[in-house]
């Protein structure tokens, strides 16, 4: 037996309340409450995951989460080794970034491995999806396509075909006929996603959902959508450039520090096993204002070029513009360079960039950023075979960073010959190969060595 109830839901945060008001009491946003009607289904002792009966935690036997490898190593790396049976993965990103391409390729890999996969395309017709699949070389007969937006009809097909993996493209287009609101509304997204997640948990079927994003870059719809799923992945990058970064912002069964790197080609997304070569300059002649830093993303190290350009400010106050690095840390490093290294940067426009579209957020890049700024200001090029590692403190000291040997190993593998690292760092000679490791204790010491 079912009954209908009405609630007012905030489009911004998903909060519910019984009466309408001009301002959401949870997030404080104005004019975000919309009326939604919900169907309350009858409850019983049998829940979605079996009989609803509490058990002592000591009686529950833990088991290792079984995983299915997608056949795309970069995707498996971000997922933590593959998708967990019964796990739910939400993939978000800008329009045209490659979400559908990635999951269609992953679905084909699952299907080619003998699994029956149901790909529900709620935004394209079967013919449109087939044309894209032909371009990507997707031809497995175990991959079933369904063009449908009604969640009830989707479940009818799921019950008929019994797939071993499901892809929904996209969750904002799926709707329940029990709710009078339009597809994409708070109630529709929450109800459809909840039913799909419950089925995945009950049946042990891996579930992939594609989610739209807002202008702010967040998953569209209620925030509860991200709480429902086990893993949230974001596709980053400029759709006008070839390279894409896949990053996990939530993962119940793995690390959120891993990064997957792909290149968009006419044949689809291709993995980039050595991302360091993407972010390094092609012209290795030394240029003032350019430095190289080994960065860490989870267990992976890759090298990034940090660029700085300083020019005399002729109009008004000096500008500070950054891309791919933290603005606050750049401002702090400018103050340290002025106070501790004696550089007069007040009247200089400062532009700092992490090349290749990657974002560098860790403090280990401080030394490279500071040296790049000083190099551009004083017009001395840093040798192209040198990498810089270290956090810079307010006193001008170079502080130790984590995973120093992994960073040095990546630099040695790519042919770099010299590394400036924080003094006191413990480094095994076997892990750095032919690298000449030079410890520095203060920022001025590093500048004096490189001038």
CATH number for the domain including 362? 3.30.230.10
Same domain, 291 and 329: yes
Domain match, 73 and 30 both: no
Report field, pTM of the whole predicted structure over 0.75: no
Is residue 157 included in any domain, yes or no?
yes
Looking at the structure of the chain, the number of domains it has is 3
Q: How far apart, in whole angstroms, are the C-alpha atoms of residue 372 and residue 360?
A: 14
Q: Within this chain, do residues 267 and 283 fall inside the same structural domain, yes or no?
A: no
- Expressed as residue numbers, the domain containing 189 is 67-271
Closest among 280, 308, 450 to 382, alpha carbons compared: 450
59: in domain: no
Residue 58 lies in a domain: no
Q: What is the per-residue pLDDT across 160-209, written as a single tens digit (0 to 9) for each?
A: 999 999 999 989 999 999 888 888 888 888 899 999 999 999 999 999 99
Distances (CA, A) of 345 to 319, 333, 342, 446: 11, 11, 9, 19
Residue 386 has pLDDT above 70, yes or no: yes
Residue 54 lies in a domain: no
DSSP label of 1? -
Residue bearing the bigger pLDDT, 270 or 256: 270
300-312/348-354 β-pairing: antiparallel
Could you tell me if 244 and 299 lie in one domain? no
- Sequence-ordered list of residues with C-beta below 8 angstroms from that of 248, at least 6 positions apart, any chain: 78, 79, 231, 232, 233, 234, 254, 255, 256, 258
194 & 285 share domain:
no
Would 57 be classed as within a structural domain?
Answer: no
Residues 282 and 412 occupy one common structural domain: yes
Percent of the chain predicted with pLDDT > 70: 90
Residue 39 pLDDT greater than 60, yes or no: no
Q: How far is CA 51 from CA 7, 47, 61, 195, 196, in A?
A: 30, 6, 17, 18, 19
Residue 287: Cβ-neighbour burial (10 angstroms; 0-12, 13-18, 19+): middle
pLDDT of 128: 95
What pLDDT score does 1 carry? 41
Residue where one domain finishes, among candidates 271, 302, 324: 271
Instruction: Determine if the peptide bond prior to 111 is cis (ω within 30°).
Output: no
Residue 224 sits in the same domain as residue 322: no
pLDDT score of 171: 92
Say if residues 184 and 227 touch (Cβ distance below 8 Å). no
- Quickly state the pLDDT bin for 216 (edges 50, 70, 90): low
Confidence of residue 404 (pLDDT cuts 50, 70, 90): very high
Does pLDDT of 38 surpass 80? no
Apex CA 210: angle with CA 297 and CA 87, to 5°? 70
Q: Does residue 60 form part of some domain?
A: no
131 domain-assigned:
yes
Residues 6-27: what's their mean pLDDT? 78
39 and 125 fall within a common domain: no
The whole-angstrom separation of Cα 444 and Cα 208 is 51
| Tokens describing residue 255 | 């690390």
Picking from 254, 382, 392, 364, the residue whose alpha carbon sits closest to that of residue 302 is 364
Q: Which of 327, 274, 289, 110 is nearest to 205 (CA)?
A: 110
Same domain, 219 and 90: yes
| Cα dihedral sign, 316-322-327-331 | negative
Are 234 and 113 in the same domain? yes
Residue with more model confidence, 148 or 57: 148
Using pLDDT thresholds of 50, 70 and 90, give the confidence band for residue 237.
Answer: confident
């Amino acid at each position: 037996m079912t009954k209908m109830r009405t609630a007012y839901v905030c489009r911004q945060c998903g909060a519910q309340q019984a009466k309408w008001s001009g301002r959401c009491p949870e997030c404080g946003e104005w004019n975000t409450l919309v009326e939604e009607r919900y169907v309350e289904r009858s409850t019983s002792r049998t829940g979605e995951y079996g009989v609803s009966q509490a058990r002592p935690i000591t009686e529950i036997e833990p088991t290792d989460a079984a995983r299915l490898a997608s056949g795309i190593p970069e995707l498996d790396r971000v997922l933590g080794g593959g998708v967990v049976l019964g796990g739910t993965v939400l993939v978000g990103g800008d329009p045209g970034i490659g979400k559908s391409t990635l999951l269609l390729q992953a679905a084909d890999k699952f299907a080619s491995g003998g699994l029956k996969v149901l790909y529900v395309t709620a935004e394209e017709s079967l013919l449109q999806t087939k044309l894209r699949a032909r371009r990507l070389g997707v031809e497995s007969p175990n991959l079933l396509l369904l063009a449908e937006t009604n969640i009830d009809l989707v479940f009818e097909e799921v019950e008929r075909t019994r797939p071993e993996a499901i892809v929904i493209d996209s969750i904002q287009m799926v709707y329940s006929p029990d709710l009078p609101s339009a597809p994409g509304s708070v109630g529709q997204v929450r109800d459809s996603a909840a039913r799909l997640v419950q089925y995945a948990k009950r049946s042990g079927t891996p579930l992939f959902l594609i989610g739209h994003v807002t202008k702010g870059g967040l998953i569209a719809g209620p925030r509860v959508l991200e709480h429902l799923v086990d893993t949230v992945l974001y596709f980053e990058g400029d759709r006008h450039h070839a390279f894409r970064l896949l990053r996990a912002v939530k993962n119940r069964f793995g690390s959120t520090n891993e990064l997957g790197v792909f290149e968009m080609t006419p044949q689809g997304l291709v993995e980039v096993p050595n991302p360091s070569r993407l972010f390094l300059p092609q012209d290795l002649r030394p240029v003032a204002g350019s430095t190289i830093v080994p960065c860490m993303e989870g267990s992976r190290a890759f090298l990034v070029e940090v660029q700085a350009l300083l020019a005399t400010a002729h109009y008004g106050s000096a500008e500070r513009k950054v891309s791919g690095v933290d603005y606050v840390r750049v401002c702090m490093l400018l103050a340290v360079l002025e106070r501790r290294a004696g550089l007069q940067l007040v009247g200089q426009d400062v532009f700092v960039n992490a090349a290749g579209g990657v974002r560098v957020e860790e403090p280990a890049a401080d030394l490279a950023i500071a040296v790049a700024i000083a190099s551009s200001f004083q017009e001395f090029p840093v040798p192209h075979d040198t990498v810089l590692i270290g956090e810079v403190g307010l006193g001008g000291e170079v502080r130790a960073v984590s995973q120093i040997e992994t960073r040095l190993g990546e630099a040695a593998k790519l042919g770099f010959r010299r590394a400036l690292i924080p003094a006191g760092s413990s480094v095994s000679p076997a892990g750095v190969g032919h690298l000449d490791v030079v410890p520095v204790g203060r920022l001025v010491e590093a500048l004096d060595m490189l001038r």
